[in-house]
Structure 1
Amino acid sequence: MSWVQPVRIPADVDQEDRLVGGFTARQVTILGGTGGLLYAIYLIVGDRVPLVVCAAVALPFGILGVLLAIGRRDGVSLDRYLLAAIRHQRSAKSLVSTPGNIPPPPSWVAARTGRPPAPLRLPARGVAGDGLIDLGPDGVAAVAEVSTVSFALRTPDEQDALVAVFGRWLNSLSGPAQILVRAERVDLTPTISTLTANARSLPHPALVAAAHEHAAFLADISARHDLLRRQVLLIMREPAAGPNGRDAAAARALRRLDEASRLLSACGLTVRLLDASATAALLASCFDPTAPPLPDGELAAPGEVITRGERW
């Protein structure tokens, strides 16, 4: 009889391996590098400087090395946190969208003091007319909004059926896919305005009073709470290769979304592909969640010339 020894897998699969004494390779490198540097300095100046002075000077550097190795802040190790802070301090704070490098100002322009702006490098090159995100050499990405279904209110058999359908969709994936669950603020002002305007045409005074009472209730909770709604997005990305790679990648991404829509419909989920305006509004809200929404009118595409008719 053969026995199979179970292997415990940690919940965090991205956790670093512990090599020596519970320390990771990064921590061992920091501690060993700090100790080796201090020892090398002692070998150089130890004969000319008293031992007490050497210990007093080396103690702060030793404590700093230990803190960098084992310390954490907001879930990030202190060495990576310090490197990120230095990188942020040295990087340009003003970024502008430009197809190339920013040319220097002419000699006759009195440039302001401070760090000049730097080009804004984004993975997305723009949103095409079909709503797909152009990723340049990385291909295209199709974004769809997916409805939700209550899992806890289903019976065990229904839950097993939902899991089986979802598993079949996962097994059918032929390329990269991302499920993004985001929370966005909800503005009840249009709903309250529509409710108040429609209350005037209600046939009974009791209905009018109920409509105004509900509008006041919505206005009260909107003023006292930060209302959020959950949005589930399904993103399909396809790489582009060849002269017509963008069109082929777009066709594959749309086909994969269509397959996901057919399979997930068995779970009662609706997959709706976002059009160009909805995708642009989504990207804008991700970059600046506190900004007002984009206007509903048609937006000019990047590089498109905007004209205006004049009356004579």
Structure 2
Amino acid sequence: MTARHQQYAETPMSVKIPADVDQPDKILYGLTTRQLAILAGTAATTLWIFFTLGPLMPFPVLAALLVPVAAVGFVLAVARHDGMNLDRYILAALRHLRASKERVTAAESVQPPPAWCRMRGRLPEPLRLPVHAVREDGALELADGGVAIIVRAGTLAFGLRTPREQAGLVAVFGRWLNSLDAPVQILIQASPVDLTGLADHLSQHAPALPDPVLEQAAFEHAAFLTDLGDTHDLLIRHVLIVIIGHVPASPPSSVLAWRQHERRRVGRDSAAAVALRRAAEAAQSLAALAVPAEVLDADSAIAVLTESLSPGEAHLVDNSTLCDVITHRQEA
């Protein structure tokens, strides 16, 4: 290999990836179709006000009326809030204000109270979670009829690799991305870490070490971990890969009810089998990157879902069926 080729191979890789991969296309002057529609509507409204009210009022009053209308339309089209277009943000805020803030576990809509009962506030709405059930094989049955498999992956120190190693890792990861033929979501979670237990473990076992120097080093390391946890907000990152499996379309209504249920069950089982196979292939592909990965079983999937709904809290998982007797024991 010549010196020029060696220098080219050792050049650090730098690839620009947009932060929003779902960003709409720019149509004209860097504006999207939605932004152009808002600006066109604002211009039409401004012209209508100008030609309708122009002959009836003085120009300063007309300008005082047109300037706010044009400014509001321009801000709605161009301004952004937390990476979201301002018009979409306002619509989402209005939907949030109109929606009920209380959710209850109910199969159907909450019935209003009788006419003689006066109620303050709004009725709660049924709680609709995206996951309907967790199968024994770890597949998640989604509320929309599909299934999903969760793969837990580790991380690697990409910045410590040489440019040639980085290029190889990117190539392998790119081949895995190009091999995907179904929707895949890569989720990175950050949760707080408490080092108190590790520091206490070192302090308890330090006297049992054979060398006083090792004992002193263990105490110093325990003190370092305690100080690190007190002075910094430590976080640990979890990388989850969610692989979606689509269930075939539901049978026509002319089919008998028990046949429809049987076909839906078979379609869900086949979709779960395909998603599990894709999850195993994803774990093997990541193993080529020296990234540890595992397909979560039912218990691990429940733990991940519970932690995602309420992170940082202790949870009791209830796996009882409808006919089981639920008991509670409180220690003194």
Instruction: Give the TM-score normalised by the residue count of structure 1.
Output: 0.80
Output one character per residue of 1:232-268: Cα deviation in whole Å (capped at 9) or x when no partner.
2222211123331222122212222222233332332
Code of the aligned partner of 1:259: E
- 1:281 offset after TM fit, Å? 2.4
Structure 1 residue aligned with 2:62: 54
Alpha-carbon distance in structure 1 between the residues aligned to 2:58 and 2:288: 79
The one of 265, 268, 293 aligned to 1:271: 293
What is the alpha-carbon root mean square deviation over aligned residues?
3.1
Code of the aligned partner of 2:33: A
Structure 2 residue aligned with 1:294: 315
Structure 1 residue aligned with 2:255: none
- 1:199 offset after TM fit, Å? 3.4
Structure 2 residue aligned with 1:3: none
Structure 1 residue aligned with 2:4: none
Q: Is 1:210 matched up with 2:217?
A: yes
- Whether the 8 Å CA contact 1:134–1:140 is kept in 2: the answer is yes
Alpha-carbon distance in structure 2 between the residues aligned to 1:24 and 1:31: 11
- 1:146 offset after TM fit, Å? 1.4
Give 5+ residue unaligned stretches, structure 1.
Answer: 1-8
Q: What pairs up with 1:108-127 in 2 under 5 angstroms?
A: 111=119, 113-127=120-134
Alpha-carbon distance in structure 2 between the residues aligned to 1:126 and 1:61: 50
- Whether the 8 Å CA contact 1:281–1:293 is kept in 2: the answer is no
Structure 1 residue aligned with 2:95: 87
Q: Is 1:35 matched up with 2:54?
A: no
- 1:154 offset after TM fit, Å? 3.7
Q: Is 1:176 matched up with 2:190?
A: no
Q: What pairs up with 1:241-280 in 2 under 5 angstroms?
A: 241=248, 242-243=263-264, 244-280=266-302
Change in CA separation of 1:140 and 1:15 when aligned onto 2, cut-off 3 Å: closer
| Secondary structure in structure 2 of the residue aligned to 1:230 | strand
- Whether the 8 Å CA contact 1:181–1:232 is kept in 2: the answer is yes
Alpha-carbon distance in structure 2 between the residues aligned to 1:97 and 1:40: 51
Q: Is 1:233 matched up with 2:240?
A: yes
The one of 132, 155, 166 aligned to 1:148: 155
- 1:18 offset after TM fit, Å? 4.1
Alpha-carbon distance in structure 2 between the residues aligned to 1:192 and 1:185: 16
Structure 1 residue aligned with 2:79: 71
Code of the aligned partner of 1:61: V
Change in CA separation of 1:109 and 1:146 when aligned onto 2, cut-off 3 Å: same
Give 5+ residue unaligned stretches, structure 2.
Answer: 1-15, 249-262
- 1:67 offset after TM fit, Å? 1.8
Structure 1 residue aligned with 2:136: 129
Alpha-carbon distance in structure 1 between the residues aligned to 2:178 and 2:64: 62
Code of the aligned partner of 1:133: L
Q: Is 1:191 matched up with 2:198?
A: yes
| Secondary structure in structure 1 of the residue aligned to 2:131 | coil
- Whether the 8 Å CA contact 1:146–1:232 is kept in 2: the answer is yes
- 1:157 offset after TM fit, Å? 4.8
Output one character per residue of 1:79-132: Cα deviation in whole Å (capped at 9) or x when no partner.
222222222221222223332212223567653x22222222232113233322
The total of aligned residue pairs comes to 298
- 1:23 offset after TM fit, Å? 3.8
Change in CA separation of 1:146 and 1:49 when aligned onto 2, cut-off 3 Å: same
Output one character per residue of 1:194-246: Cα deviation in whole Å (capped at 9) or x when no partner.
33333354445544443333222212111111101122222221112333122
Structure 2 residue aligned with 1:100: 108
- Whether the 8 Å CA contact 2:49–2:66 is kept in 1: the answer is no
- Whether the 8 Å CA contact 1:200–1:208 is kept in 2: the answer is yes
| Secondary structure in structure 2 of the residue aligned to 1:267 | coil
Code of the aligned partner of 2:74: V
Structure 2 residue aligned with 1:284: 306
Alpha-carbon distance in structure 1 between the residues aligned to 2:299 and 2:135: 10
- Whether the 8 Å CA contact 2:151–2:294 is kept in 1: the answer is yes
Alpha-carbon distance in structure 1 between the residues aligned to 2:115 and 2:97: 28
